[in-house]
Structure 1
Amino acid sequence: MVDCGAEGEEVRESAPGSDDKVESLSVMEGDFVTLNSEDTEMHGDNTILWKFGPEKSLIAKINRETKIFSTYNDVLDGRFRDRLKLNNQTGSLTITDITTVHAGLYELEIIGEKWSSKAFSVSVYAHLPFPNIMQNRSSSSSNCSLLCSVVNVSDVTLSWYKGNSLLSSISVSDLSISLSLPLEVEYQDKNTYSCVINNPISNQTTHLDISELCQQYADVHCCVSTEAVIRLVISALVGVAIVIVLVYDIRSRGSEQD
């Protein structure tokens, strides 16, 4: 299929379902990614086109015959403005200061004696926050109830680990939401626990300090239990004292009557 591209250029469009190889790339938001064309045969009179998105919008072009290198800042509402760099030797394209709006499918098309194309699927991930571990008020007298949480995240998995062993996990895909994952441990537990958030290219870990986070509540439970025992003992002693007084009083009255 042939249609008219920028500046009257003939642009051949590959049909959906063709055998073009798609290379998957992942990058953190704010970093850069380079789409390499080094493995594609290039000639001195080739025209190299870089396109983006389902509409295959032209974002960069190299005319090797005239040695003109062009990037198109105004396409797609200017999202690529001052972010595109072309390598005049290889034809590779670098996107700098990348954000999530730059995620998607890129296509390299080389027009010359031999036409060829290559596709790149770019995924962009936001920087991950550190998980927050807090004590849950529903803790019992025997266990410390904990909650690990993160806010405004997407495409992540939140997990509890005991040492290197996975205890539980929860995942979210596209939506930006808050995640929480509970855990119960004994107050005197000496094992190592950690809460981890990860996406396909990075992770952040918060380690649990049971002695710091749970001990204050363990002391409260301990004090409450001790106080209850003391009250019970005092009540029992008072009861015994009352019984003794009553018995003594009854015997005294009996003696007086005799």
Structure 2
Amino acid sequence: MSRLLLRYSTAVLVVLIASEAASGAVVMKAVGGEVSFLLDKPLPPPVSSICWKHKNSDGVVVKAIEWDEEDSFSIPNPRFKGITTLDNNTGQITITDLKVEHSGVYTIEINSKPLEQNFNLIIKEPVPKPVIKIEPAGNPDVVYLACEYSETIIWKNSAGETLKGSPTTFGESLTVKKNGDPKNFYTCTLDNGASSETSDRVYERDLFSGSGSGSGEIVGIVFGIILLIIAIIIAAVILYKRNKNVKERVDEVFPCIKGSYTPANTGAEMTDDKVKQDKQSADVENPNPSPTTDNTNADVENPNPSPTTDNTNADVENPNPSPTTDNTNADGKNSNPGQAC
């Protein structure tokens, strides 16, 4: 109950805050901030002196700043020196670089007579930036968001709606259910009446596994990288094959690549290679091939050849051949075979 009363009173005080506070207002400011108190009525002429006084929580009253026609401005208390100014035409006082010690009640005196107006200033330390903690709920479609603070905690979603949290020992907890929208987010705002801070957004896609397009985005990125690599490889191969300078340079740097992208042998080229190999084999087996028919085989198949077909066999059968029959012997003995014919 006391906690609720504290929050309710803080909300009421926030409504009363203004940059130039009206009389009787309770003003809450953060340390390091600035405040101005302005009278709700013009100063009654003639004005010969103005004095602002400060009363702290212990009841001690000191002069914050004063002005009179003879001595002009004066700041007798070191607590307000260098940070306090006074407008002697309107009576407005301004205090900068506020500290907790500046908290208290401020009153004003005109021509040494106090006015009924007063201002209650409360200085607080600025709130820290909250961090939302994610706690499992035992249900894959439900999680708890926790925000720790001793004063006002405000939960909101991405639609700007204010959500109701549940009080805990150190702050508040918000129950979040999966709604299938990965772009939906939640924030936690801390407010002490003097300052406020909001947490970073917590997206639903980070709260539930497989929510929305989070995994899809990852797959898309990976697929895009693969396509880019393939495109680079294709471009490199085309450049290698079409640009002679590039090919020579690559072959020098990477000799193992040389010849990897030459056109494959066609069937005709392979046939030619086979014929060449067979011919080479034949040359090895018969180093002095006869340009005409194989007479050796002919001798075996035809033991009685005609004189004009196999002269060698004819020489064997006829040891005394006529000059016109054995051309081989005639050629060997006569350097002019034409005469024999």
TM-score (norm 1): 0.57
Structure 2 residues without counterparts, runs of 5 or longer: 1-21, 212-341
Determine the structure 2 residue equivalent to 1:192.
Answer: 184
Structure 1 residues without counterparts, runs of 5 or longer: 1-19, 218-258
- Structure 2 residue identity aligned to 1:51: H
Tell me how far apart the structure 2 counterparts of residues 154 and 108 of structure 1 sit (CA, whole Å). 35
Indicate if the aligned counterparts of 1:38 and 1:92 stay in contact, CA closer than 8 A. Answer: no
SS of 2:200 mapped into structure 1: strand
SS of 2:32 mapped into structure 1: coil
Return the offset for 1:178.
Answer: 4.2
Tell me how far apart the structure 2 counterparts of residues 115 and 105 of structure 1 sit (CA, whole Å). 13
Return the offset for 1:193.
Answer: 3.5
Give the number of equivalent residue pairs: 187
- Cα–Cα, structure 1 residues 118 and 215, in superposed 2: closer, same or farther, change >3 Å? same
Quick one: which of 160, 165, 172 aligns to 1:164? 160
- Cα–Cα, structure 1 residues 48 and 73, in superposed 2: closer, same or farther, change >3 Å? closer
Quick one: which of 63, 69, 72 aligns to 2:73? 69
- Structure 1 residue identity aligned to 2:120: S
- Cα–Cα, structure 1 residues 108 and 169, in superposed 2: closer, same or farther, change >3 Å? farther
Indicate if the aligned counterparts of 2:133 and 2:146 stay in contact, CA closer than 8 A. Answer: yes
Determine the structure 2 residue equivalent to 1:110.
Answer: 110
Determine the structure 1 residue equivalent to 2:209.
Answer: 215
Tell me how far apart the structure 2 counterparts of residues 214 and 101 of structure 1 sit (CA, whole Å). 48
1:48 matched to 2:46? The reply is no
- Cα–Cα, structure 1 residues 62 and 170, in superposed 2: closer, same or farther, change >3 Å? farther
Determine the structure 2 residue equivalent to 1:131.
Answer: 130
- Cα–Cα, structure 1 residues 27 and 49, in superposed 2: closer, same or farther, change >3 Å? closer
Return the offset for 1:33.
Answer: 0.8
Indicate if the aligned counterparts of 2:131 and 2:199 stay in contact, CA closer than 8 A. Answer: no
* Structure with higher helix content: 2
* RMSD (Å), alpha carbons: 3.6
Determine the structure 2 residue equivalent to 1:22.
Answer: 24
Q: For 1:154-194, what per-residue CA distance to the aligned partner results, in whole angstroms no more than 9, with x for missing partners?
A: 5422325463333313689xxxx942413232284557242
Determine the structure 2 residue equivalent to 1:95.
Answer: 95
Q: For 1:75-134, what per-residue CA distance to the aligned partner results, in whole angstroms no more than 9, with x for missing partners?
A: xxx4x454322334433222111133323321112235x652421122334433333223
Indicate if the aligned counterparts of 1:187 and 1:214 stay in contact, CA closer than 8 A. Answer: no
Return the offset for 1:71.
Answer: 1.6
Q: Which has the higher contact order (CA 8 A, sep 6+)?
A: 1
Tell me how far apart the structure 1 counterparts of residues 51 and 178 of structure 2 sit (CA, whole Å). 64
SS of 1:136 mapped into structure 2: strand
- Structure 2 residue identity aligned to 1:87: D
- Cα–Cα, structure 1 residues 56 and 62, in superposed 2: closer, same or farther, change >3 Å? same
Tell me how far apart the structure 2 counterparts of residues 38 and 168 of structure 1 sit (CA, whole Å). 39
Q: Percent identity?
A: 17
Return the offset for 1:197.
Answer: 1.4
* Structure with higher strand content: 1
SS of 1:197 mapped into structure 2: strand
Indicate if the aligned counterparts of 1:62 and 1:91 stay in contact, CA closer than 8 A. Answer: no
Identify which range, 101-110 or 40-49, moves more after superposition. 40-49
TM-score (norm 2): 0.45
Tell me how far apart the structure 1 counterparts of residues 179 and 39 of structure 2 sit (CA, whole Å). 58
Structure number, greater radius of gyration = 2
Q: For 1:186-220, what per-residue CA distance to the aligned partner results, in whole angstroms no more than 9, with x for missing partners?
A: 28455724223143464524322121243279xxx
Indicate if the aligned counterparts of 1:160 and 1:169 stay in contact, CA closer than 8 A. Answer: no
Return the offset for 1:144.
Answer: 3.6
